[in-house]
Structure 1
Amino acid sequence: MVIFLVVATDDDRIAESCRRFGADVVMTSESCLNGTERCQEALKKLKKRYDLVVNIQGDEPLIDPEIINGVVKILQAAPDAVFSTAVTALQPEDAMNPNRVKCVVSRKGYAIYFSRGLIPFNKSGKVNPDFPYLLHLGIQCYDAKFLDVYTSLPSSPLQLEEDLEQLKVLENGYKMKVIKVNHEAHGVDAPEDVEKIEAFMKERNID
């Protein structure tokens, strides 16, 4: 399903490392505030037309190819949405970790909100072990035309407060489809995560 894969970065070290294994690289400016803005700039530099753009964040080294296909298919099936993403079950130990972004989803499969705090948060102030909390994964799929719209919108209050780019989409009234998946490995959100991911890869013989 992937037509063209490119690494978009503003770091020469990343670019050189990727080129060594044959990756196509697009250099973007340091002024990009987030991955969505970086995708928009990279798409312009490619000077090619695509219907959809998938942003696989560099801190998600073990994202499953089926998840990539899933976010594409779910956006294609939702003409009222401009954006799609994926969530999986939140592990109890990550409930209060602000580096693990949580998500709540409507019954129709649209994102309601994303937060670094635990959502929903009950009045007892404790984690409910029986509630199916959701962890947001670092992958987004966009309607390519929406990328220009996104970058034209000013940063929104919720986006700035939570430092989450998805909130600018929701706060401006656009719809985002969410696919729920089973995914064991979380992303590299802090230095201590590197060791965990390396151990996970070694355990499963992933090079």
Structure 2
Amino acid sequence: MSVVIVIPARFASTRYPGKPLAMLRGAGGESLSLIERSWRAAKSVGGIDRVIVATDDDRIRDAATGFGAEVAMTSTSCRNGTERCAEAVANLGLSPEIVVNLQGDAPLTPSWFIEELVAGLRADPQAGLATPVLQCSGRMRADLLADRAAGRVGGTTVVFGAQMQGLYFTKEVIPFTGRDYPADAPTPVFHHVGVYAYRPQALAAYPHWPEGRLETLEGLEQLRFLENGHRILCVEVEARGRQFWELNNPEDIPRIEAMLAEMGEA
């Protein structure tokens, strides 16, 4: 039973063109590109048989092969990372048990997030895909609210049902609570970690569905599954004292570099 990680990466991001090649300085002062840091995060995960960078851009291909990554070239018509993962898997003729989509803007993703995600999907044969959710501290919730107040698109939050089925994902901060929380206190808000684990059948079906209305409004690819009646399993993970943030805007670079320094990440 094989597990493959695909890292979709495109140069022509609307909010942040060239984002995969943005440089991030680590605790030791070394600067590495976002795509290399994401690839290193993927390589640290246990139980993974293959890690592939999927891109449609020669600059990203050249950078990735330069640091030793396997690269699959995909078309420019892919509308999001899930479609890019599906095309890469199909083009390479792969038939793994599970495909993990580790988006190329999440270099701080701990290995156990993905390991627990794969275990959660394996344990639920009714789910075609799964994604991790992380309970926000007061500090993380405040950071998300500050991004929204400043007009920046920051992280995504999620609400889920009693069986851990995703009910809705949004770039707003939900649920509304009407109160503040101490920095280290848990809150009712869950951050959606932008990683997905798919069974191949669910992944292969996805590109054939039209973009949904909510997907288009929110700019969130996972909503296409919900809009087509497919259950998304939410797997709760724990930070274990580690900070987590995704690179969505240029303003996130100093924040992530500070986190790398605080964690002692090279």
| Corresponding position: 1:172 with 2:225 | no
- Per the TM alignment, residue 132 of structure 1 is displaced from its structure 2 partner at its CA by 1.4
Residue 131 of structure 2: aligned partner: 85
Residue 154 of structure 2: aligned partner: 99
On the 8 A contact 2:135/2:189 being kept in 1, the answer is yes
CA deviation string 1:143-172 (max 9, x = no partner): 111112111111111111111111110111
Unaligned runs of 5+ in 2: 1-46
- Per the TM alignment, residue 127 of structure 1 is displaced from its structure 2 partner at its CA by 4.8
| Corresponding position: 1:120 with 2:166 | no
Residue 182 of structure 1: aligned partner: 238
- Pick the aligned partner of 1:154 from 189, 210, 220: 210
1:78 aligned partner, one-letter code = D
Residue 36 of structure 2: aligned partner: none
Partner SS, residue 100 of structure 2: strand
Unaligned runs of 5+ in 1: none
| Corresponding position: 1:202 with 2:258 | no
Scaled by the length of structure 2, what TM-score is found? 0.73
Separation of aligned partners in 2, 1:45 and 1:16: 19
Separation of aligned partners in 2, 1:203 and 1:111: 32
Scaled by the length of structure 1, what TM-score is found? 0.92
| Corresponding position: 1:9 with 2:55 | yes
Separation of aligned partners in 2, 1:163 and 1:57: 15
| Corresponding position: 1:48 with 2:103 | no
Residue 199 of structure 2: aligned partner: 143
How big is the alpha-carbon RMSD for the aligned residues of Structure 1 and Structure 2?
1.6
1:55 aligned partner, one-letter code = N
Structure 1 range deviating more: 194-203 or 41-50: 194-203
Separation of aligned partners in 2, 1:37 and 1:80: 22
Residue 192 of structure 1: aligned partner: 251
1:117 aligned partner, one-letter code = E
On the 8 A contact 1:95/1:127 being kept in 2, the answer is no
Partner SS, residue 95 of structure 1: helix
CA deviation string 1:124-156 (max 9, x = no partner): xx4553741011111110111111211111111
2:198 aligned partner, one-letter code = Y
- Per the TM alignment, residue 186 of structure 1 is displaced from its structure 2 partner at its CA by 0.8
On the 8 A contact 1:57/1:139 being kept in 2, the answer is yes
What is the number of equivalent residue pairs in this alignment?
Answer: 204
Partner SS, residue 104 of structure 1: strand
Separation of aligned partners in 2, 1:128 and 1:201: 27
2:154 aligned partner, one-letter code = N
Residue 134 of structure 1: aligned partner: 190
- Per the TM alignment, residue 205 of structure 1 is displaced from its structure 2 partner at its CA by 2.3
Separation of aligned partners in 2, 1:202 and 1:100: 21
On the 8 A contact 2:144/2:173 being kept in 1, the answer is no
Separation of aligned partners in 2, 1:182 and 1:94: 18
